Structure 1
Amino acid sequence: MPQMPPPTVLPDILRERAAAEPDRTAYIFLDDTGEETAALTYGQLHAAALGVAQELATRCAPGDRALLVFPQCLEFIVAYFGCLYAGVIAVPLNPPRRNRIQDGTRSVVQDCAPTAVLSLELFLAPLRAALEPLCAATHWLAVDGMPAAAPGFEPFAAALDDVAFLQYTSGSTAAPKGVMVTHGNLMANEEMIRRGFGHDRDSTVVGWAPFFHDQGLIGNVLQPLYVGATSIVMSPATFIRRPLLWLSTITRYRAHTSGGPNFAFEACVGRAAAGPVPELDLSSWKVAFNGAEPIRPDTLRRFEETFAPHGFSTGAWYPCYGLAEATLLVSGGAPGRGRRLLEVDVEALGERRYVAATGARTKTLVGSGHVLPGEDVRVIDPESGEQCPPDRVGEIWVAGGHVAQGYWRNETVTELTFRAGGKYLRTGDLGLLLDGELYVVGRSKDLVIIRGRNYYPQDIEQTVQAAHPALRAGAGAAFAIDGPEGEKLVVIQEIRRTADADPADVAADIKAAVLREHELALADLVLTAPDEVQRTSSGKIMRSAARKRYLAKEFELWTPQIEALTDAPRS
């Protein structure tokens, strides 16, 4: 009997798993208390996705776009594979909040021009009221009410070069852009993740990142299906409210892989300090990936100290680096290797040079792993276009089968971003490639340049947040504005909800710390209320948005009296 060719695209993999192991559990969804409220086997997912595909096929042509607007739920996964089965380009979207359309949402809807919107029956009416003015000629479809596909319905036969979905960028430095991810890009990156993370069918994954974000979709949804494993998922809101439930879930399901941005680990440490810590056994956790924002060595150390007594191994750390334009993953370590730290001289780093730390002004960089098989990663001098020697900071350029095809309907920016040197993706991130390890030091667009010296805003923000106990960690933005004598430094910083401090004392401590650590004087400091500094869905600080709001004088100034009212008990 002739052997079937290996699957070439993810829909083939789902069909094969549904045929071979229809009753194997693919996904389990947990509610706010950690209870299992929904599950999907491979067979159920395949059948439900076929029903969605048949419905789409009557209304859309292959290549049309469909918005996927869901709360965190398994129906999103059904809708996503329904789009793949129909040849329709899925567009995951951050749902509007309280019927208010965010600027990023408006931009995405207008840019992709959807033919259909998929959601749950409960949400269709409010979604239609909010979004229909932006996409009038659209079909509104409830996934949870769709009938099964008719016998004999044949899904669309996708090719590797076909666009599978549009992953819109976070908008941390500019308006969101639709990254065109093909089926071939997905397969290439899923294989990189499998090899890099050491996955097989027994590698249970636990995740809470939103499905409209690349980490949630490609890492927590598609990678488990790619290797035939089971994924346990919960909502981001559940994690924010109960960070330690994440660790309890890892314990309960003996998870191999789980992770998130740096702030997730910080949140667990903070909640554990407030106590009590539930009974945990984290010994099964082999890949604790940390990415999507600057990885802070202090966070790693505190997490280790807090949870080593509960079975967490330092070898489980898996710092990594990726971005939507490369589908997801670019660099990572090896399971069991743990983190790599590099002590550098701050003065030299400001001149885009690496010098080993010797004096008082030092900084610890966390390595983001090594270059993975199947890709070419280089560090390039952004001015000369030449490859940097190992002791120089430059822009990270990436080439490989996982690099997406470009930005949707934006050929000009695609040419500048995806075709540098003919084949490289310009990431916009600055880094070092030293002894095979990639160290990411900041975003080129966020770089603060004062009197000819380079400053990385996340370093300034960290100094600010450590200056006084009233300040919220990970909740500030440092940026430069134009002044008569060149660029000037401005910092916006949130205050803790329970803070009881004199604003003048807080400001004095901040200014002294920035002067001491960076030899910089602040041109302006704005102490603001909690949740005023915008972040992306992955927790990145939106510094360009903060700068725009600052110039428009839109930040709410913090005073202890205002916060006292804000913190009044709620019924």
Structure 2
Amino acid sequence: MQLFPDILARRAADEPDRVAYIFLDDNGAEHTTTTYRELHEQAMAVARLLRSRCAPEDRALLVFPQCVEFIAAYFGCLYANIVAVPVNPPRRGRVQDATRAIVADCAPTAVLTTGGLLETLRPVLEPLCTARQWLAVDELSTADTAFTPAAADPDSVAFLQYTSGSTSTPKGVMVTHRNLVANEEMIRRSFGHDRHSTVVGWAPFFHDQGLIGNVLQPVYVGATCIQMSPAAFIRRPLRWLEAISNYRAHTSGGPNFAFDTCVARAAAGELPDLDLSSWQVAFNGAEPIRAQTLDRFTKTFAPLGFSAQSVFPCYGLAEATLLVSASGKGRGPRLLDADIDALADRRYVAAPVDRGRTLVGSGAVLPGEALLIVDPETGERCPPDRAGEIWVAGDHVAQGYRGLPEATAETFQARCADDPERTYLRTGDLGLVVDGELYVVGRLKDMIIIRGRNYYPHDIEHTVAGAHPALRPGSGAAFAVPGRDGDKLVVVQEIKRDADAGTGDIEGAIRAAVLQEHELAVADVVLAAPDTVQKTSSGKIMRAAARKRYLQ
């Protein structure tokens, strides 16, 4: 098995001048280009210094903006047998709660960053950790090549990938070298990648999609990746499509909200001159995938060469390194209309088109893994017409959570009553398989249960967002709280900055829409200012955080 340190070293030796990464500025202009040889040399410089100052398997915190120095630091950790811990860099001198929790949990020996960040970063992070080494990666010399990378054990921890914290405190997933290679091979096969498959990415590097998909997959297949910052995408989302067009990208994607954002921006002004005909894999994952989103995006950008067959829904999670299921290159999406009432009872009954809830398939189970739909209460496999918890097994499933043996046993070592010899990862997601296609229907922990009936919060949130033009799409949380006669429904929803409607009208529209669509009364509506409903780095609504804040 060739591990990632071997893969990068081989690329640097075989094709030293091949471009590995191109970084774009906020205007879409190139500001950094790095070859495989340059990346290897920078990583070796990092590894030399780490080996001299840290012990094997020490943790190193990686605190970077979207830049090539992060990638050099990450591979330097792999070369030196140091466990990398990517984190979200502080913004405006403020450390995010999730980052605080990660720093406290992983106890890093070293902090790697850039010279420009070091002076401002150290006073902010130093009170939170006991790191002895603070290293500016961009200031290291690459002149000295007298270094031999440490041979890696395939089952040793390559890095800690912290969960998003959408339902609980972030936990450090122990991803091994074997996990990485296994999942990258799954991505290569399902996405149809080779060395000519240019990738365009903007997802943050501390997120599994940004790191495993956009940074490591191109190295794995020997391709070139074009990177832009998440902030550049948020400010000017159509720059993303311009990069795909200009560099003739084969693969690019993001969470569902990214496609909605592009449609909204296109509707607000004139479209740039784009040719999206090269875009063969437009992957969509990391949150509930909306059929309406796929349809609107395809119709908006079809005149510019985008093909409906390029739409590529997929599903994954940090505990499985990244990818679990994928649609297949050139296949297009699969849709399923399910009866809402039956789905609330975790049953699948076909509904007439537009008369039920349209589920978007997340693709097929991939070679090299086993996937079961299991009753979360009994641990038995569900019959074909039942939704249950998605359980996964394979070489891509991580070792467990660092320092949490009980949570590891509960999540990573589940045994199905029908297959007691094998251990499975409990994903915490509810889904069903129909005609070989996986459909994800919700999060087990987020399920709202009122008067014995199940409700999926993202369905309610979708209804709320469309109830009034003053509301911001994708910026609301629905959850249950204790009431006098049992749990009751609360909705927290952001309003637009330029909203000119009265709060009474907006609240009334929300209550009426939820009652009509779900036959459910909303006990309390909280209208929030823009950007106050917390989200993860991939755009998932942090419902647990919204509920906690409401109760406080």
Same structural fold, with TM-score higher than 0.5 when normalized by the shorter chain: yes
Q: How far apart are the structure 2 equivalents of 1:548 and 1:216?
A: 29
| Residue 97 (structure 1) shift | 1.7
Structure 1 stretches of at least 4 aligned residues deviating more than 3 Å after TM superposition: 358-361
Q: Find 1:394's aligned residue among 382, 388, 392.
A: 388
Structure 2 alignment gaps of length 5 or more? 416-421
Q: Deviations over 1:170-216 (max 9, x none)?
A: 00000000000000000000000000000000000000000000000
Structure 2 residue 95 is matched with structure 1 residue 125 = no
The 8 Å contact of residues 193 and 221 in structure 2, kept in 1 or not, is answered as yes
Structure 2 residue 136 is matched with structure 1 residue 142 = yes
Structure 2 residue 162 is matched with structure 1 residue 162 = no
The 8 Å contact of residues 497 and 530 in structure 2, kept in 1 or not, is answered as yes
Question: What TM-score do you get using the length of structure 2 for normalisation?
Answer: 0.98
Q: How far apart are the structure 2 equivalents of 1:141 and 1:250?
A: 34
Letter in structure 2 aligned against 1:229: A
Q: Find 2:238's aligned residue among 230, 244, 256.
A: 244
Q: How far apart are the structure 2 equivalents of 1:341 and 1:135?
A: 48
Structure 2 residue 31 is matched with structure 1 residue 41 = no
Structure 2 residue 466 is matched with structure 1 residue 453 = no
Structure 2 residue 470 is matched with structure 1 residue 470 = yes
Q: Which residue of 2 aligns with 1:547?
A: 547
The 8 Å contact of residues 337 and 354 in structure 2, kept in 1 or not, is answered as no
| Residue 103 (structure 1) shift | 1.5
The 8 Å contact of residues 166 and 180 in structure 1, kept in 2 or not, is answered as yes
Structure 2 residue 513 is matched with structure 1 residue 510 = no
The alignment partner of 1:454 has SS state of: strand
> Which structure 2 residues correspond to residues 404-483 of structure 1 after superposition, within 5 A?
404-421=398-415, 422-483=422-483
Q: How far apart are the structure 1 equivalents of 2:29 and 2:518?
A: 48
Letter in structure 2 aligned against 1:174: S
The alignment partner of 2:206 has SS state of: coil
Structure 2 residue 95 is matched with structure 1 residue 95 = no
Q: How far apart are the structure 1 equivalents of 2:343 and 2:131?
A: 53
Q: How far apart are the structure 2 equivalents of 1:63 and 1:149?
A: 26
Question: What TM-score do you get using the length of structure 1 for normalisation?
Answer: 0.95
Q: Which residue of 1 aligns with 2:55?
A: 61
Q: Which residue of 2 aligns with 1:277?
A: 271
The 8 Å contact of residues 84 and 160 in structure 2, kept in 1 or not, is answered as yes
Q: Which residue of 2 aligns with 1:564?
A: none
Paired-residue identity, %: 69
| Residue 149 (structure 1) shift | 6.0
| Residue 150 (structure 1) shift | 3.1
| Residue 148 (structure 1) shift | 2.1
Letter in structure 2 aligned against 1:457: P
The 8 Å contact of residues 162 and 171 in structure 2, kept in 1 or not, is answered as yes
The 8 Å contact of residues 44 and 145 in structure 2, kept in 1 or not, is answered as no
Q: Find 1:198's aligned residue among 172, 175, 192.
A: 192
> Which structure 2 residues correspond to residues 361-372 of structure 1 after superposition, within 5 A?
361-372=355-366
Q: How far apart are the structure 1 equivalents of 2:354 and 2:69?
A: 54
| Residue 162 (structure 1) shift | 1.1
Structure 2 residue 397 is matched with structure 1 residue 403 = yes
The alignment partner of 1:431 has SS state of: strand
> Which structure 2 residues correspond to residues 326-405 of structure 1 after superposition, within 5 A?
326-358=320-352, 361-405=355-399
The 8 Å contact of residues 390 and 426 in structure 2, kept in 1 or not, is answered as yes
| Residue 418 (structure 1) shift | 0.1
Q: Find 2:99's aligned residue among 95, 101, 105.
A: 105
Q: How far apart are the structure 2 equivalents of 1:381 and 1:123?
A: 48
The alignment partner of 1:500 has SS state of: coil
The alignment partner of 1:68 has SS state of: strand
Q: How far apart are the structure 2 equivalents of 1:455 and 1:192?
A: 33
Say which is worse superposed, 411-420 or 98-107, in terms of deviation: 98-107
| Residue 340 (structure 1) shift | 0.3
Structure 2 residue 233 is matched with structure 1 residue 212 = no
Q: Deviations over 1:421-474 (max 9, x none)?
A: 151000000001111100000000000000110000000000000100000000
Q: Find 2:77's aligned residue among 74, 77, 83.
A: 83
Q: How far apart are the structure 2 equivalents of 1:250 and 1:360?
A: 33
The alignment partner of 1:468 has SS state of: coil
| Residue 245 (structure 1) shift | 0.6
| Residue 138 (structure 1) shift | 2.4
Q: How far apart are the structure 2 equivalents of 1:270 and 1:253?
A: 24
The 8 Å contact of residues 370 and 436 in structure 1, kept in 2 or not, is answered as yes
Q: How far apart are the structure 1 equivalents of 2:354 and 2:427?
A: 32
Q: How far apart are the structure 2 equivalents of 1:36 and 1:312?
A: 24
Letter in structure 1 aligned against 2:460: I
Letter in structure 2 aligned against 1:50: M
> Which structure 2 residues correspond to residues 248-259 of structure 1 after superposition, within 5 A?
248-259=242-253
Q: Which residue of 2 aligns with 1:562?
A: none
Structure 2 residue 516 is matched with structure 1 residue 522 = no
The alignment partner of 2:350 has SS state of: coil
Q: How far apart are the structure 1 equivalents of 2:33 and 2:506?
A: 49
Q: Find 1:72's aligned residue among 52, 63, 66.
A: 66
The 8 Å contact of residues 23 and 41 in structure 1, kept in 2 or not, is answered as yes
Q: Deviations over 1:71-124 (max 9, x none)?
A: 111110000001001100000000112111222111100100000000000111
The 8 Å contact of residues 344 and 357 in structure 1, kept in 2 or not, is answered as yes
Q: Find 1:262's aligned residue among 248, 256, 263.
A: 256
Structure 2 residue 24 is matched with structure 1 residue 30 = yes
Q: Which residue of 2 aligns with 1:19?
A: 13
**Root mean square deviation of aligned Cα:** 0.9
The 8 Å contact of residues 342 and 365 in structure 1, kept in 2 or not, is answered as yes
Judging changes above 3 Å, is the alpha-carbon distance between structure 1 residues 137 and 33 closer, same or farther for their aligned structure 2 residues?
Answer: closer
The 8 Å contact of residues 361 and 517 in structure 1, kept in 2 or not, is answered as no
Structure 2 residue 494 is matched with structure 1 residue 494 = yes
Q: Which residue of 1 aligns with 2:419?
A: none
Q: Deviations over 1:510-557 (max 9, x none)?
A: 1000000000001100001000100000000000000011111xxxxx
Q: How far apart are the structure 2 equivalents of 1:432 and 1:27?
A: 38
| Residue 62 (structure 1) shift | 1.0
Q: Deviations over 1:371-392 (max 9, x none)?
A: 0000000100001111011210
| Residue 290 (structure 1) shift | 0.1
The 8 Å contact of residues 396 and 431 in structure 1, kept in 2 or not, is answered as yes
The alignment partner of 1:369 has SS state of: strand
The 8 Å contact of residues 8 and 160 in structure 1, kept in 2 or not, is answered as no
The alignment partner of 1:203 has SS state of: coil
Structure 1 alignment gaps of length 5 or more? 1-6, 553-571
Q: How far apart are the structure 2 equivalents of 1:200 and 1:313?
A: 21
Letter in structure 1 aligned against 2:46: V
The 8 Å contact of residues 536 and 542 in structure 1, kept in 2 or not, is answered as yes
The alignment partner of 2:53 has SS state of: coil
The 8 Å contact of residues 111 and 131 in structure 2, kept in 1 or not, is answered as no
The 8 Å contact of residues 65 and 114 in structure 1, kept in 2 or not, is answered as yes
Letter in structure 2 aligned against 1:508: G
